[in-house]
Structure 1
Amino acid sequence: MSRTSVLDAPATTALRMDEVVLTYPDGDGRITAVDHVSCVIDRGRSLAVTGPSGSGKSSLLAVAATLTRPDSGHVWLSTRAGEVDLAEVGASRAAELRRAEIGIVFQQSNLVESLTAREQLEAMAWLGGRPSRARRTEVRERADELLERVGLGGMAGRSVGALSGGQRQRVAVARALVNRPSLLLADEPTSALDTESGATVIDLLLRTAREFDVALMLVTHDEAVARRCETRVRLVDGAVSAE
């Protein structure tokens, strides 16, 4: 895809993946995890990535998260500073983008056990630099606002060890939003939760995408969850299926 075609895309486009290919070493050869996949997500909208186990869903998300660099293709992200091709950035710039522009929610909440719910968000906001007193106050207010939005306003000062699995995952969603990203990535975020807690987290993610004007890529094996997203991509053996 040419640079001109990206700039000509609608202003609401947050992520555009074009002909992405990702391979891994496999003995004397290589195995293709993502096979010429293209997709688009607009701000405020959600894309479900579905498919059987081993189909390349998490690999595609890892490329969008700058955790894995693709062999070829483009991954255009609309940031506050303009368009950037994630497939071309170095490790340092990728880490900076994950901190400022890309929120990630994993299968496990990956919270720091020694921190409170509020401190989880504050720690994410402080990565990359020592905050001023004014910045610390701003971040604390932001953290409390987000915890209130995810239904945990009364638990901001509580240790995450005292929270249920569903509550911990809601903290993880709030943490992913603390730096006002343009892209939110969720990799099977309910796989470790019971049905009721999982439904709450999915509701939260979809509502978050709309209310915070964030593009959401949601990897899921649950067809009922996928149907709730505005668009979807089904992968089979790394390629987009025609189903």
Structure 2
Amino acid sequence: MTAPLLAPARTALAMDDVVLTYPDGDSRVAAVDHVSLEIGRGQSLAVTGPSGSGKSSLLAVAATLTRPDSGHVWLATGAGPVDLATVSRARAAELRRTEIGIVFQQSNLLASLTAREQLEAMAWLDGRPSRARRRAAGDRARELLELVGLGAAGDRTVGALSGGQRQRVAVARALMNDPALLLADEPTSALDTEAGAAVTDLLLGLVHEVDVALMLVTHDAAVAARCDSRMHLVDGAPV
């Protein structure tokens, strides 16, 4: 299959008939069962479904953490569309650094770093940065912390941040390299109602403010209803 013409429609991610299976005794079970979808920059897609329905498996495919059995996963990049279903592990890791931001259920912050340093560390992932790049990373980190409402907390360590603040830092970190695609896997499940609502407001606001495509895995119907589009999975298949 040739790459779809993504640019005119501002499509950031396009999945075409994606299948992912896992071994189950003598047979295989479908975790993602013939899923097709599109998400444009500035748009959000909620993925819902019961436990074990394939929500996180679908997100893992989009994140290049799992390669599907078949189908295509087109990601728009500055150099043109890339099929994530066929890239090497090294290329997948590079795309996660540069084009894909991921927010997990837990913030997964490094306890020894301040909030600002959590973001600046992204500049070190592909080698020791130059002095100019370190300055640019510092400026970008401060800008993003302001954007997520933590401009005054840049020098605080993880232990001095609340759960909601930690997840805000995680969101900012995921945006550090200006990705085309932001993936969030139940990002509020470990938070109380108030903090969870604040993180949801933040994510949906950032979709438009930084012009990123958002795939949000959630069990919360109210959150899903606020997204631009929704996909409900049962046994890996859209229903």
| TM-score range normalised by the length of the shorter chain | over 0.9
Q: In the alignment, what sits opposite 1:128? A: 126
Residues 1:236 and 2:229 aligned together: no
Q: Any idea what the Cα deviations from partners look like across 1:12-43, whole Å, max 9, x if unmatched?
A: 10000010000011112111100000010000
1:98-147 CA distances to partner (integer Å, 9 max, x unpaired)?
A: 00000000000000011000010011122102111111001000000000
1:26 to 24, 31, 43: 24
Q: Secondary structure at the match of 2:226?
A: coil
- Superposed CA offset, 1:159-187 (max 9, x none): 01110000000000000000000000000
1:8 Cα shift? 6.4
| Distance across 1 between alignment mates of 2:171 and 2:6 | 32
Displaced runs of 4 or more, over 3 A: 8-11
Residue in 2 that maps onto 1:38: 36
Matched residue, 1:219: 217
Q: 2:170 is aligned with what amino acid?
A: A
Q: Which moved more, 1:26-35 or 1:141-150?
A: 26-35
Counterpart Cα distance in 2 of 1:136 and 1:204: 27
Question: Could you tell me how far apart the structure 1 residues matched to 2:117 and 2:46 are?
Answer: 30
Contact 2:123 2:134 in 1 (8 A): no
1:3 is matched with 2
| Counterpart selection for 1:80 from 78, 81, 99 | 78
Name the SS for the 1:53 alignment partner: coil
* Equivalent in the alignment of 1:119: 117
Partner of 2:183: 185
Report the identity percentage. 76
- Number of residue pairs aligned between Structure 1 and Structure 2: 239
Change (3 A) 1:25 1:142: same
Distance 1:171 1:74, change over 3 A: same
Counterpart code for 1:82: G
In structure 2, distance between residues paired with 1:24 and 1:205: 31
Q: What secondary structure, in the 3-state scheme, does the structure 1 residue paired with 2:173 have?
A: helix
Q: Is 1:58 matched with 2:51? A: no
* RMSD (Å), alpha carbons: 1.0
